[in-house]
Structure 1
């Protein structure tokens, strides 16, 4: 969507860290967690600051995956 491609990968492959929120939520509560990196892809493209005109397109790109993730969590918790 919008010409953007998101590549699934382990967050540890993006940048090394230990004891982050995903570790804590899983280790303490057994809650599946993951890291979602949004636009822009690199510091040269703007770093972690999303221009206002990219907010809605970014949501549109990520909405299907977010909804699917929630559906899967609900299905597992009900089973």
Structure 2
């Protein structure tokens, strides 16, 4: 469990630093963060500071995914 959390944190840090993270890794992070957000929101309320923080983290991951998905590969 600790290894999984630390791996997740390191991926999020890579995303925040704009380092190369694969699309598949981002999808997994997005799914995990979405699940966390749902759990937190149901437990503490949708407007709780913890839910808002999780929502902002999910937004950052989704924005990064969109940025990667919209990047065109140059043709030669």
TM-score, structure 2 length as denominator?
A: 0.40
Larger relative contact order, structure 1 or 2 (CA cutoff 8 Å, min sep 6): 2
Q: Which has the higher helix share?
A: 2
Q: Please, what TM-score do these two structures have when normalized by structure 1?
A: 0.39
